[in-house]
A = this chain, B = another copy of it.
Amino acid sequence: MSGGEFNSWQTVQAEVLRRINAREWKPGDFIPNEAELSVEFGCARATVNRALRALADTGLLDRRRKAGTRVALNPVRKATLDIPVIRYEIEGKGQTYRHTVLSQERAVPPSGIRARMQIEPGIKLIHLVTLHLADGKPYVFGDRWINPEAVPGIESADLTVKSANEWLVANIPFEGGDFSFSAMTAGKREAEILACREGEGLFVIDRSTWNDGLVITSVRLTFAPGYQMHTKI
């Protein structure tokens, strides 16, 4: 019964996982507390803590002070997904990257963008449409709004050299971002830009990033047909 060499947190984690998988601890069950497990496993409580905390982070355990630790009832697993810069994504596949600015202007944003970015009516933002190409073929195009108030220096940047996204991540820190993933149907504009047929299903990412309570930029990335985003648990 008493454990053997469970002195590393990975070992403890593996054993806990084994017991969950073997249904020795079933979903909803409380498991022994950290002190008890540390005795059983012959290690420090901090080691048990690290192992259980990691499992809780993935959504497999549910931990609450005083209540204890239980095996999660509804396994809402958490996957982590990488948000790469498009250039790295393309170059990582061994393809050559190029991007072009289709248009750049100051304009009053539509209401949807205004709401997303918490902008007063009538304020003009920078509106930038860019196309990113992999091996010369359209890969994704970005329809981006930038709040110049939140981005000092953007006016003087040459965004035809470095893409807006790259310039922003290199120059403007941000606290957080919202992402949403969806699909859309290619209209005339998308079909032309991405060189695909009208009516094709396209993968879309909408992203806003903010800092100091100010929304910096909001962008819609529309990918050419065939794009896939991957992740693992």
Which residues from chain A sit less than 8 Å from chain B, CB to CB? 20-21, 23, 27, 59, 74-85, 88, 169-170, 173, 176-186, 199-204, 211, 223, 225-233
A176 and B84 form a contact (CB under 8 A): no
Cβ-defined partner of A181 (8 Å) among B21, B181, B185:
B181
Which listed residue, B59, B79, B82, B203, touches A183 by the CB 8 Å rule?
Answer: B203
What are the residues of chain B within 8 A of A177 when measuring CB–CB?
77, 79, 232-233
Write the nearest CB–CB distance from A223 to chain B, whole angstroms.
8
| Given A80-B80, A179-B232, A183-B184: 12 more A-B contacts, CB < 8 Å | A21-B211, A77-B177, A79-B177, A178-B231, A178-B232, A181-B229, A182-B203, A182-B226, A182-B227, A183-B202, A183-B203, A201-B202
A97 to chain B, nearest CB (A): 13
Is the CB–CB distance between B231 and A179 below 8 Å?
Answer: yes
- Name A223's closest neighbour in chain B (CB-CB): B183
Contact A78 B80 (CB under 8 A): yes
How far in angstroms is the closest Cβ of chain B from A139?
Answer: 14
Q: Which 4 pairs between the two chains have the least Cβ-Cβ distance?
A: A201-B201, A21-B173, A183-B183, A185-B201
CA of A223 to CA of B183, assembled, Å: 9
- Is A85 a contact of B74 with CB atoms below 8 Å? yes
Assembly CA distance A226 to B83 (angstroms): 23
- A82 CA / B183 CA spacing, docked (Å): 19
**21 A/B residue pairs, CB under 8 Å, sorted by A:** A20-B173, A21-B211, A74-B85, A76-B84, A78-B80, A78-B81, A79-B80, A79-B81, A81-B231, A179-B230, A179-B231, A179-B232, A181-B181, A181-B228, A181-B230, A182-B203, A182-B226, A183-B183, A184-B201, A185-B185, A200-B201
